[in-house]
A and B are shown apart, each in its own frame.
Chain A
Amino acid sequence: MVRDDLRCIYLIAAKDMRTYYLKPPAISWGIVFPVAWTLAFYLRSPGDFEELVPGLIAMTILFSTTAAEAVVINFEMRLGSLERLLLAPVSPRAVLLGKVLGGFLFGLLMTSVVTAGTVIGLDLRPDLTALIPVAVISLLVFSSMGALFSVGFKEVFEAQTFLNLPRFLMVFLCGVVYPISAMPSPLQFVSQILPLTYTVEGLRGAFSVVSSSPLIASFVLTGFLLLFIFPAMRIFGKRFD
């Protein structure tokens, strides 16, 4: 059964890459939105752009993974194709992990393009031993978060709309748009319980923008990953009870 599940996780993710990566919601939220943010920040202050790179990578991770999850899960929920997967000798857990892997790979693709583009274009020297683990764990965290928020809905637009609540809350409170230290203390507290804050912190450490520890950020992000993935699997399993 474990071998069947592993094979199906890979097959589902590979199929999702071929089937959904060019769907309009994935392109608009997963590609256009991060690119628009990048341009907006660059045009506002081209001189400080280097300092904004970790935040932009974090934003790309957040939007690309969550947008992809809403597409790969909700398109199939609406069409009934998700049930078709569950008719095969595969557990609901494996189907959901396949979907999370699909979102992760989409995010990885987008994040790699943005990171390579900014690193090469601005001649930056990030610490790859810190950058890669933080980015990979963050991609998994936000894929899982996207899955958790998508399994409760049938339509892509419902999931995307609902996902905007945590997405924009995190964008404004993670320290990219406004420094956390300058926020009122209740908002500082809220920012500390948001995963994007740790992604930004970890990436800033990797780019030596601040002296934060990517290791601690990775550790906290692993906690968020568990916090999202297990309830997502549970809710998904319950849907087909």
Chain B
Amino acid sequence: MKAIEVQGLTKRFGSLTAVEDVSFEVEEGEVFGLLGPNGSGKTTTIRMLVGLSRPTEGDARILGFDLSSGIAEAKRRIGVVPDSSNLYDELSARDNLLFMAKLYGVKKRVREERVEEVLRAFDLYDRRDDGFGTFSRGMKRSLTIAAALVHDPKLLFLDEPTVGLDVVAARSLRDLICDLHHRGLTIILTTHYLEEADRLCDRIAILVKGRIVAIDTPEGLKRFAEEGSVIEASFRGAASGHSDDLSARLPGSEVVFLDGTRVRVLGGDPSGVLEELFEFSRGHDLGLEAVNSMRPTLEDAFIRITGLSPAVMAKEKGGK
């Protein structure tokens, strides 16, 4: 059975089209990623699918319930983790979960048991009586996810789950998502972290400017980039100032500067690319430090498919 079927979903805010003609399907038990830079329409798509925003056009079925007529029934069966941890600072971890359980109509006889089970699963049982406001950012994120699971949903929406977390907290959260996946939960994940999408998702839809430009497995997307060579070069001097020259030297290849001194060349004849890189380095006295031929990553696939620099993906919400 399909967990989600989306057909021609469109959202306009006045003259701005945030999401345009988006269609995809998600199988039960799948982790499906919506990958794209900020402003690409990921969150707007999720907001429509969870009933927070009405589509301008198109329709969707969530767990067999029509978005336009059966959203209340669908809401009983879905959990949503928004991009911010917005439980109540004044309430304890336990009371926050109890409130959410009551809100979703979890029966009184199983409520306490379920809350305790979720607190233990997220390793928060010992802090159950502490206020949410006293938690660290990682613990707040964990409790926010726990709150989305307290009514035992069949489908979980995770909007940018690891944004703002330190490396350790983000890693443990990714492990947790893997664990939920292994338990058979269907997960829809939005992220602008390419490695996160690569590691967690069974399939990925890449969104750019409100449209889906590719849907495939991470391996399938990488194969697309494998059609040409990927060569990365590092210079001692600032090479990015001469990017136009390098692009002109390598027609038919895509030249992407990862930072001021590192460049990645996608496609083209490898020997010709190497020759031009040496010439380019000599011509501008940049000092070629290293040249590597690489297996394409999801980042390369993303660059190939979208034509965007990976730098746009590094931007957090608000353009930071």
Contact = CB atoms under 8 A, between A and B. Distances in A.
Interface in A73-125: 79-81, 83-91
B90 A11 contact: no
B172 interface: no
A19 B88 CA distance: 8
Interface stretch (B47-55, B199-207, B222-230): B47-55
A7 B106 CA distance: 12
Contacts of A80: 82, 84, 86
Nearest to A86: B52
Contact of A88 (B53, B75, B84, B87): B75
Nearest to B96: A15
B76 interface: yes
A241 B103 contact: no
Nearest to A241: B54
Nearest to A19: B90
Contacts of B105: 4, 7, 89
A11 B99 contact: yes
Contact of A11 (B51, B87, B91, B102): B102
Contact of A84 (B72, B75, B76, B86): B86
Interface string A181-204: 000000000000000000000000
Interface in B77-103: 80, 82, 84, 86-88, 90-91, 99-100, 102-103
A43 interface: no
A1 interface: yes
A44 interface: no
A166 B99 CA distance: 35
Contact of A18 (B51, B53, B87, B90): B90
Interface string A227-241: 000000000000011
B122 interface: no
B145 to A, nearest CB: 13
B24 interface: no
Nearest to A91: B72
A89 B104 contact: yes
B82 A83 contact: yes
Contacts of B51: 86-87
B271 to A, nearest CB: 54
A60 B10 CA distance: 48
Contact of B103 (A1, A8, A83): A8
Contact of B72 (A4, A11, A15, A83): A4
B88 A87 contact: no
Contacts of B103: 8, 11, 85, 88, 90
Nearest to A83: B52
Contacts of B104: 88-89
A89 B90 contact: no
B50 A87 contact: yes
9 contacts: A4-B105, A15-B91, A18-B91, A83-B82, A84-B87, A87-B52, A87-B80, A89-B76, A89-B104
Complex A-B, nearest 10 residue pairs according to Cβ-Cβ distance, in ascending order: A89-B75, A80-B86, A88-B103, A19-B90, A87-B80, A89-B72, A81-B86, A89-B76, A79-B86, A80-B84
Interface of B: 50-54, 72-73, 75-76, 80, 82, 84, 86-88, 90-91, 99-100, 102-105
Interface of A: 1, 4, 7-8, 11, 15, 18-20, 79-81, 83-91, 240-241
Given A84-B82, A89-B104, 10 more contacts: A4-B105, A11-B99, A19-B90, A19-B91, A79-B84, A83-B52, A83-B86, A87-B51, A88-B104, A240-B52
